[in-house]
Structure formats: structure tokens, C-alpha cells
Amino acid sequence: MNSDIRILMCSPKHYDVDYVINPWMEGNIHKSSRDRAVEQWQNLYSILKEQAIVDLVDPQPGWPDMVFTANAGLVLGNSVVLSRFFHPERQGEEPHFKEWFERQGYNVYELPKDLPFEGAGDALLDREGRWLWAGYGFRSELDSHSYLAKWLDIEVVSLQLVDERFYHLDTCFCPLSNGYLLYYPPAFDFYSNRIIEMRVPEHKRIVVGEADAINFACNAVNVERAIVMNKVSNDLKDRLAQVGFEVIQTQLSEFIKAGGAAKCLTLRTTEPMDVAIHANSPVESRTVRLEGHLLDSGAINRALDLIVEGGGSFQVLKFQLGEQRQSTSTAEIKVSAPSHGILEEILAQLIPLGAVDLPEAERNAELLPVEQAGVAPDDFYVSTIYPTEVRIDGRWVKVQNQRMDGAIAVTRSPSGPVARCKLLRDLQVGEEVVVDVVGIRTIRKMAQRDRDKHEFSFMSGNVSSERRVELVVEQVAWELRQIRDRGGKVVVTAGPVVIHTGGGDHLAQLIREGYVQALLGGNAIAVHDIEQALMGTSLGVDMKRGVAVRGGHRHHLKTINTIRRCGNITKAVEQGVLTRGVFYECVKNKVPFALAASIRDDGPLPDTETDIIKAQEQYAELLEGADTILMLSTMLHAIGVGNMTPAGVKMVCVDINPAVVTKLSDRGSVESVGVVTDVGLFLSLLVKQLEAFTAPYRAVKT
């Protein structure tokens, strides 16, 4: 026995499963046998008494989980941070544990009332005493970690738990002597796994599989070479033996019914303290302000979700509800994250929701110079579709060329700093780039947002998909009409399916009647449209009868050949070779088009731009100033176009494949509408609807 090591336990006299506060307790209320529990606890007690001195705290009636002394608090040296239980079911244990610690002469620290922390269940010392591993996500709040660091004067490494079954750190993580670590990686989020891997070299990490993990293999008590745990696999036992540990197994099934095993039933009250190491909790927090229709737009929920999913935690400091329906609400949220990098990533995601860093007045955006053309400094802020402003020299500067997935480049001009979104490849030496997330805000015009919401409000209602198509058609037709009449701009991006589904004539009609101001696509739509115009087939299929024509599979190559002979599409029209169809109408009506190549193109047509960077530039140019974009059955071009388009531009995405539609609406802009339907049908309905608008005028004229 090692007489320097002390462990605190509590007899299971009043133990039972009385309530459900973790998934293990579900279905187990009053299902554990007291006798068997006492026997199992006694066995554990005897084993531990061989290894260390075991102290006992008196069990209390009415507090069945008090056997789990790991949750009494966290002891280091002569100090203890008392637990603040998350669930009211266990809060009554606090005074009993407190009394015990005080009686032993500990320095007792108590956390603020509303800051949960569940003691050594969620805080495990590195066995060499180098730092404290602290868990959060279910029972303990990340903000409690800063207190631990301060009071215990130790470095805290925060780890986020993500699997409900492993709700306490000690259920899935067990630091062992000599720097070894026994753990179950899937219980942690991505960042935490990275942090663990950075701190513990691979040959010291003993990864536990799910089968052993759910037998609480990680919930082990390690005293020097001995590891005491519930029954586990021989494989794990062997792996531990290979690195010099002796596994002592003891059945603890009755306690697993409450979600605990060996380690939970103990609290080590003598922990190694490395005097050379001092407080350093990298937990960083920042307060941001969100303003707007936070509740009805769902923005507040989205923001809080983002923070948690991003590996952080939050505290709502202020929440001012708008009094009237039209007035806005304000929330001040303190965002905490276990490292600076994680905090930055979270804040970068909050900015598009309208979050502004506080205190607003003092922070300028951080700028770093471009040192290599086409390469941004690390940590560059990735732009979004939302109108953005950056604070430079104390002034908010509007970012030009707003688009997503760019960097914000800043140049100085005599009239002041100029900020613009640029693709990485376009960055120039001499420019500066916005890094980090301070001094950046996005402007979400609430008035505008409401209007959009109103206009498209019928979309969200409980309508059948057929009715939904009709409603979208009505709405789009109305808008095309309005835009045409005020000289606005509609851009269409379309895939070859438009032609196959018989939509070519309708699209041609829209162009002829002035509803389309630019057309974007690939080689294929042009080839199929022209094939149909020249030979009546689309990819060899007779468009009138819907059957394949003999030898028709060669038609599209002949088409390409014909256009190549003419020089290009425009020349084919001028030479009288091409006399109808979508591209004919484009040429005739001076509607510019851009065709972007892809790896599977036949030909391509001379008009097809094979330099993809140039093609992107052509697209961007034609998209400039667009009011509405119709995306007709083309995943590739729709997503490409979506990426270049700032928020505020309405996008209507029509595709028979719901995945494409979802992908587009995932960009979260309120202005995009998706319709899952046959594009040929959509276009025919659209044309009919437009004709219906126009018919009365015609009737008057004649």
C-alpha cells in the first residue's frame, strides 16, 4: 500500500437509481440491487485499500448518487473547488461534501451559483502534475475552467465532450502514470482530439474501442502501476500490460446502471502538484452584440448553436426584447472558447449573423500585408455573401465586390482606404488583408430582410409541392415582369436538361421577350440547343416524338462541327446557319452569354472558354448588378454562380434533384428560393403565367 495516496469514498447505503439525469439511468429506475451494489462496492473498497488509504464520507439519505465521490469537488494540494451540480437532483450533496472538506481543513473554493462544475468527474490531473485536463459540454461549463486555473494555479486544458453517454470527462478519459493516456476519442469533438494529440505523443495514447468504452474501461482508478476498473476485454488488458500496467478488474454493473464505475466512486484527495507550473487557462472570451429580429428570425438560436457546435460556450449577458413586433431586440453574448483559434473561428461564423464585437468603438480591423502574390496571410478573414464593413483607422469602410470565400484586401488611396473582396489568386503584394475577426461587421438590413421575407413568405407555408411550384412560378413571373419594366437585370444559368426536357423554346421565348439580360452555362447547353435548332434532336433524341433517331448520337458532333466551320455561334447566326433556339435569340437580342468548359465537353464550341479562371471572370462580369438569378437544372453552374453572388440578389433554383436545391439554400440567404420540379414544366408554366399578365394589354391593343 502506498501511504502517501488518499482516496475518498462513500458507502452505498442509500444508493439507488431514483431519477434519470444521464442515458445510463434510463430504464433503470429502482432496477439496481442494493445487496449486489454493496457487495461490488465492498470489493472495490478492499482492492483500493491495498493501494492507498481510503477515507469515507458519511452517506446521506435522499442523495443516492453521493456514492460517486468523484463529483464532490476537485482537490489539489490543500485546496478544493467544490462542485456545483448541473442537475437539481444532485445539488443537495454539495453541503455534505463541503462540510467534510472543511472538517479536514481544506481551503474550500465555491464557484458562482449559476456556474456548473462537477468536480473530479470533469477535471483530471495529468499524472505528472503538469496540467489539468478539464471537460465541458454536459455537466460543467467552460467558464468554470478559468476559476480552476486561477484558484488552483494550474494550467487548464479544456476538452469538449460530445457524446451524451460520456457526459463526464472521467467516463472516457483516464490519464495514467508515466504520461500514458487511456481514452475513447469519439467522445470528444474534433478540436479536443487535436489538443489531446498535441499533448500526448502517439505511443502514449491507449485508444479504447466502443465496446470497452461502454463498459467504463476509461473510468479507472490508477495508482502507480495498478489500474482498477470494471470488467473489460482481454485485448485492452493485454495492451495495458504491454506498457507495464497491471489491470485489476472488479464487477461494477450495479453502478453502471447509474452511469458510473470505479473512478466515479472515488475521489483522489492527494494529487501531485508540480510547483513549477502555474495558472494558464487558454480559455478566451469575447463579448459580442447581436441586434435585429433575433427571435422571429431565429438568429439567436442559430448563433447559440454555432457557438456550441464550434466548440465554445456562451453566456447571455443581456437580452433586450423588442417591445413591438417591428422593433428589434438586442443581445449581448459572452462567447468563450478553449483557445484563441477556436474563438476566432466561432466569431467568424457569428459575424454573418450580424454580430459585432464589443467594445465596438475601439477596435480596428487587423491587417497584415500580402507577402506573396496569390497567397493571404494565415488567419485571413473569409468573406461571406453579406454586405460587410471593416473598421480602418477608426472608420467603417464598406467592402466592395462582396462575395463569399474571398479575402478582404485593403489598399490606400488619396481619398482613404479601399476594401474589396478578392479571390486568393488575385491578391497582390502591396495590399493588406483583414485577419482575425475584430473590427468586422456585416450589415443585415432588417427592413429589407423583412420585405424579402414578406415577399417570399408564402413559400414557407404548408403548401403541397405542386401548389408550391405554381406559387413560385407566379412569384417569379411577377418579378420578371417588374424587373423588365424597370430596366433591371435577370441572369439565367442553365444546364442541358433545359433542352432535353423541352424547355428550350420557352427559354428562347423569355429571351426574345426581354426577360433575360445574360445567360451563363456550359458547352453542353449550347450544343444541345443548337443541335435541336439544326436537326430537331437533342443528343440524338427527336424532341417532337421523344424517340431516338437513327444515327442521332452523332448529331451533336455534327452540330459542333458546323459551328466551328462558321467561326462561332454569333457568326453562325449572321451567316443564316442558326435560325432559332436559345442561343439564336441571345445573338439576335444582344443578350450576352458566357460558356464555361468542363472536362467532359465534346468539341468544345469555339465560344466555350476553356481557361476556367477566365470563365469565372466572364461569369462575374455578367453577374454584376443582377437583381435575380434563375438557376435552371445545373448543379455545377448554379453553385459556381452562388459563390460569386452577394446576399441581396434573389436566386431561384429549379432542379429535379432536391440535393441541388438544398445545397443552394444552405447558403442561408433569405433571398434564395428552391423548387424541386422538372425544369421543362417550370419554364412552360412560367411562360404561360407571363402571357397571362400580358394578355389583357394585347386584348386592348387589337
Residues recognised as catalytic: 168, 264
The contact pattern for ligand ARG, residues 524-563, with x = CB under 6 A and - = no contact, is ----------------------------------------
Q: Could you tell me the smallest distance in angstroms from the CB atom of residue 170 to ligand ARG? A: 5
The residue among 12 and 121 lying less far from ligand ARG, judged by its C-beta, is: 121
- Distance between CA 148 and CA 380 in Å, rounded? 33
Among residues 83, 171, 442, 475, which is the contact residue for ligand ARG, using CB under 6 A?
171
Q: Give Cβ neighbours of residue 563 (< 8 Å, ≥ 6 apart).
A: 530, 569, 572, 578, 605, 606, 607
Q: For residue 333, which phi and psi values (nearest 5 degrees)?
A: -125, 130
Q: Binding ligand ARG by CB under 6 A: which of 126, 141, 170, 357?
A: 170
Q: Is the CB of 25 or the CB of 306 nearer to ligand ARG?
A: 25
With contacts defined by CB under 6 A, name the span among 45-53, 168-176, 197-205, 529-537 that binds ligand ARG: 168-176
Angle between helices 679-701 and 504-512 (to 10 degrees): 40
DSSP per-residue letters across 360-386: GGGPPPEEEE--BTTBPPTTBPPP-SS
Say which residues have a Cβ less than 8 Å from residue 538's Cβ, sequence separation at least 6: 496, 499, 500, 504, 528, 531, 532
Nearer to ligand ARG, 228 or 535 (CB): 228
CB 292 within 8 A of CB 100: no
**Binding to ligand ARG in span 302-341, by CB under 6 A:** none
CB of residue 268 vs ligand ARG: minimum separation in angstroms?
12
Tell me the C-alpha distance between 30 and 614, whole Å. 71
Q: Closer to ligand ARG at the Cβ: 124 or 629? A: 124
Q: How far is the CB of 44 from ligand ARG (least distance, A)?
A: 14
Q: 3-state DSSP call for residue 321?
A: coil
Of the candidates 573, 668, 601, the residue with the CA atom closest to the CA atom of residue 305: 668
Out of 10, 44, 70, 675, point to the residue binding ligand ARG (CB under 6 A).
Answer: 70
Total residues at the site for ligand ARG (CB under 6 A)?
A: 15
* Residue found under cell 467544490: 82
Question: Least distance in Å: CB of 230 to ligand ARG?
Answer: 12
Contacts 24+ apart (CB under 8 A), 220-223: 220/174, 220/182, 220/262, 220/263, 221/7, 221/48, 221/51, 221/262, 221/263, 221/266, 221/268, 222/127, 222/174, 222/175, 222/176, 222/177, 223/2, 223/5, 223/48, 223/51, 223/52
Rounded Cα–Cα distance for residues 341 and 436 (Å): 9
Tell me how far, at minimum, the Cβ of 419 lies from ligand ARG, in Å. 51
Pick the stretch among 166-174, 232-240, 495-503, 546-554 that binds ligand ARG (CB under 6 A). Answer: 166-174
CA distances (Å), 629 to each of 133, 324, 456, in order?
A: 51, 35, 15
Rounded least distance, CB 22 to ligand ARG, Å:
4
Residue 474: CB minimum distance to ligand ARG, A: 55
* Residue 123 or 630 having the CB closest to ligand ARG: 123
Binding-site string for ligand ARG from residue 16 to residue 35, where x marks contact by CB under 6 A and - marks none: -----xx-------------
Under the binding rule (CB under 6 A), the answer on residue 68 touching ligand ARG is: yes
In order of 300, 426, 561, the CA distances from 289 in angstroms are: 11, 33, 61
Sequence-distant (≥ 6) Cβ neighbours of residue 405 within 8 angstroms: 382, 383, 423, 643
CA-nearest of 466, 465, 446 to 454 is 446
Cis preceding linkage at 282, omega within 30 = no
Choice between 80 and 307, CB closer to ligand ARG? 80
Q: What part of residues 47-66 is at the interface with ligand ARG (CB under 6 A)? A: 65
| Residue with smaller CB distance to ligand ARG, 90 or 528 | 90
Please state, as a whole number, how many other Cβ atoms lie within 10 Å of the Cβ of residue 489.
Answer: 18
- The only residue of 84, 145, 168, 667 in contact with ligand ARG, by rule CB under 6 A: 168
Give whichever of 22 and 672 is closer to ligand ARG, judged by the CB atom.
22
The residue number whose beta carbon is nearest to ligand ARG equals 121
Site for ligand ARG in 100-159 (CB under 6 A): 121
Residue 250-269 contact track with ligand ARG, rule CB under 6 A, x = bound:
--------xxx---x-----
Sign for the CA dihedral angle at 355, 357, 363, 368 comes to negative
The Cα 159–Cα 178 span in angstroms is 21
**Inter-residue contact 404 to 385 (CB < 8 Å):** yes
Q: How far is the CB of 253 from ligand ARG (least distance, A)?
A: 14
Minimum Å gap between C-beta 86 and ligand ARG is: 8
Q: How far is it, in rounded angstroms, from Cα 207 to Cα 100? A: 36
User: Could you give the string, one character per residue 382-411, with x where binding to ligand ARG holds by CB under 6 A and - elsewhere?
Assistant: ------------------------------
CA atoms of 304 and 124, how far apart (whole Å): 28
Region binding ligand ARG by CB under 6 A among candidate stretches 68-76, 130-138, 629-637, 638-646: 68-76
Task: Say which amino acid occupies 369.
Answer: P
Among 32, 71, 215, 618, binds ligand ARG (CB under 6 A): 71
To ligand ARG, the closest distance from the beta carbon of 151 in angstroms equals: 20
Nearer to ligand ARG, 266 or 538 (CB): 266
Of 90 and 556, CB closest to ligand ARG: 90
Q: Quick one: how many helices (H) and strands (E) in the chain? A: 23, 35
Q: Which residues bind ligand ARG (CB under 6 A)?
A: 21-22, 65, 68, 70-71, 90, 121, 168, 170-171, 258-260, 264
